[in-house]
Amino acid sequence: MLWKNLQIYYPDPSTFVPGIAQVIIMWCDAMVAWLESDDNEDQVDKMLDGLKARGKLDIAIEVCLSNEATVRKC
């Protein structure tokens, strides 16, 4: 489904997986920076408490053709 929606932006299919992987790596780097920031200590603690109850973190990748990033609780 991801390829179907994004193939117009990846004329060369061999760049699709590396391109998507790079986006995921960038997201993970931003998440780690957010987690490690002292300014976010209260929010991180709340998130970790929520994760203890669930025992896992689900991350979904969706196609959005706007320039705004959103976070959706699943």
Global pTM reads 0.64
Give the least confident one: 32-36, 37-41, 53-57, 59-63. 59-63
Rounded Cα gap, residues 67 and 59, in angstroms: 20
Mean pLDDT of the chain: 82
* C-alpha distances out from residue 43 to 13, 20, 34, Å: 39, 28, 10
Q: How do residues 6-38 score in pLDDT, each as one tens digit?
A: 888 888 888 888 888 888 899 889 999 999 999
